[in-house]
Structure 1
Amino acid sequence: MPNKLPNSLLYLLSISAGLVVANLYYNQPLLHDIASSLNVTDSQVSNVALSTQIGYALGLLFIIPLGDKISNMKIVKIDFLILIVSLLGAALSQSIFLLIVTSFLIGFTSTLPQLFVPMAAHLSDDEGRGRAIGIVMSGLLIGILGSRVLSGLVGEYFGWRSVFFSAAGLMTLLFFLLNAKLPLIQPKFGESYAKLMKSLWFYFKTEPTLRLATLRGALAFGSLSAFWTTLVFLMQDSFGYGSAVAGGFGLFGIAGALGATVVGKMNNRVEKSKLIILGAVLIILSWIIFLVSSHSVIGLIIGVILIDLGVQSVHITNQNIVFSRNTEARNRVNTIYMVGFFIGGAIGTSLGSLAWNYYSWTGVSVVGLVFSGIILIVQLLTGKRTV
């Protein structure tokens, strides 16, 4: 069977995934600036990041399953309209409440990359699927990390509102490009939306590998979110640095994220349970380094590279596992997996913020170690049965 996914379309999906998912993370390096601007506490402003992640999880739950029922282009058109309006609303927010609401909507509508990943899997043959997922995930991960760099720099010199205005303009341009270049995919599911949503429970209940992959993904992303949400506070308190430096750490994470393509290719050659164990060990090692590096920039840099490489090793392997089954329902199984993934991120954000408020960086590091330690324990207990 020839590969139906040309490189030009594959890289467009990768770049688009990165640009859209970046909307979820622009606020993280800006939290301290937003708190000062709106006269709220660090604890209150952390709800901006939390509401974005909760919105994303709910968007995954209610929007992405539609990829198995209605055309991808119809979803793109409606979703982009709401996203652009939400970004403008965030830029114009004069209260923390309004910013939390608009951030929720930004998260809710920034779900399109989770249509792009199953699309790449759908258009690829079996041999090229791991590579395709890895390339799209590289774009997505670079978007996550690069967004922090960009927003930190722009926020430092032009103010946090300019970040959201710029994002709205960028999404407008991207919409026209995708509308011109994306292939139209007509899904086969002909039942009602209620039956579509009900089938999510069927797949979750009958697929133990999907449940375990979801647990691993949630713990990995929870660990990562605890780090990125609190890094800006550590930079301010321990080093006196602003949002530009905190966001700049994303550059070092990008070095790890570039390994996503390699991890995708390794999925075709290396036992998947070994890749998951490797990823868990890298995350644990990164948190040990973070724990002793509250006053060491070099230690934090090394930890950032390791944690991003570890998380993507777990994440890409998880996705390759779940996409290899139930080919007629890839958007739905991806929904289940990614909802769990971002619920884990929201929990990590919340627990990381609480740990920072009560126990400072040591508390945050303990949260990260617990999350990553559970991944390793679960994988060692379940072994090859999980893949």
Structure 2
Amino acid sequence: MELGGIAHSAVDGSCEATLRQSVSVRGPGLHTGRVARVTLAPAPAGHGIRFTVHCPRTGTRAEVQAGTAAWVASRMSTALDIGQSRKLRTIEHLMASLAASRIDNAAIAVEGTEIPILDGSASRWCALIDEAGRVPQARPRQALRIRVPFQVNGLHGFLRAEPGDDFTVDVSTDRLPDFGVLRWTGPIDPGTFRTAIAPSRSFGNASLIWRTLLKTRLARTLLPAGARDRLWARSFTAQTVAECRRDPAPARPEHQRPIRPDTEDRMHPRDREPLLRGARPGRVAILLGGRVLGGARFPDEPVRHKILDLVGDLALAGRPILGRVVANCPTHALTFAFLTELMRHPECWEVVPLAEVRHRAT
């Protein structure tokens, strides 16, 4: 059986892998609205996922390894530091697709500073990876296996990893207006990711998008200040969370670890940056009154997209995670804190060859 162009027998995950050939895509970014071109190319074993970023506006070029060391705070997205106070933004959907496809090594060239949002999902990225093909390499693949439960808490939720010999998730969200509690549990493997997670789209509350539009120069030109103020105030009335109809994923206070002040200092951006300038129907799912305008791809599409983002952010660990990840209302900032603090507690994890894990399982 094949997943697009990737055969099951070639995706057992015991060896590193790269792409067979180069593929490219072009499109606007979600937050900047600017068009970028991305080319995925093969890379040697041990290379990892590396971005070479060329900014046409400034003529500058930078190379950055995808990992926690380069992770910088960015509003509503995951970003890497490319130097000179610049970021490569919105990498999470591409990173999730590479990780779920078990692509360990790739050279990624970006002409621009934000990865294209495409249709808001990861389906197009998965299709491009399938088109490129997957080539196993001789180097054994290493995994980060969770040995001791480890949890960090955020303002509205938590993120926890528990021991396990596969990568599974249990993710919920209870802060979407009129949706109650949405929860999805299951394994993350190439097949499940493509069918159950990748098609889910980035989502935005209609009120948030409306507030973003009210900040534009066009709104300031067309609407009197008083009218803008009234519409701004009214947009917050739709933010009340409906009464929960299901239970969210449970927190375990006994496993909670503190987030250190230096990590908290890096969790949230201090600079002003574009937000949702590229948000349009066809690029995001717009939520209003407990509905997805134009129809949902899944009844619980928003929480599936939370998982998509989570998989992409966890890929910045630099190796696959073996364990059960449990979360309620995860955010990019919280996942950054989770990985940063987890790395500071080596007693909670170990690095193991995946071939050894597969052998024990059989």
Instruction: Decide which structure has greater strand share.
Output: 2
In the superposition, the TM-score normalised over structure 1's length comes to: 0.27
In the superposition, the TM-score normalised over structure 2's length comes to: 0.28
Instruction: Decide which structure has greater helix share.
Output: 1
